[in-house]
Amino acid sequence: MSTSKQQDSQERIDAFLAPMLKQRLYVAFSTAVASAEEMFPHVADHLEYMNGLEAKGLLFGSGPFIQPGILVGDGLTILQTKTIEEARTLMENEPLIKLGLREFDLRPWELREGRINVTLNASTSTFALSSGKHDTTS
């Protein structure tokens, strides 16, 4: 690719990235290392812990990868912490992980695209509507 085309591409990329939110989050991929039956007695503790993170504003989203007939197995958690170390500590204290029933891989992630119009607390079925940061009607 010529230098001119590279520069044009970089300028287009920069123009797309400039207005984006670019919110730093941390994504944990949890992998079951025990059977669903072994994890089942601890599911209530897991849910209580995750609901606590949600209530503190530390949990962006979380849930299982769907497997028919299995309540608990592999999952995905997105944390809103200031540092990856804080996110790691939260994941290390998650009951299924703390008991050695799950392992996790934690990676930094940047929210750039998407649309969110509702604040939803899934565990309590409560929500709030907002007009958002920018008024798109003007």
**Nearest CA-CA partner of 25 in 101, 103, 112:** 112
Is residue 36 a contact partner of residue 70, using CB atoms and an 8 Å limit? Answer: yes
- How many residues in the chain? 138
Q: Which domains does the chain have, with CATH numbers?
A: 22-129 (3.30.70.1060)
Sequence-ordered alpha helix ranges (H) in 18-137:
36-39, 43-55, 84-92, 95-98
Is residue 106 a contact partner of residue 37, using CB atoms and an 8 Å limit? Answer: no
Residue-wise pLDDT for 40-95, tens only, equals 999 999 999 999 999 999 999 999 999 888 888 999 999 999 999 999 999 999 99
Residue-wise pLDDT for 110-131, tens only, equals 888 876 677 778 888 887 766 5
Type of residue found at 73? G
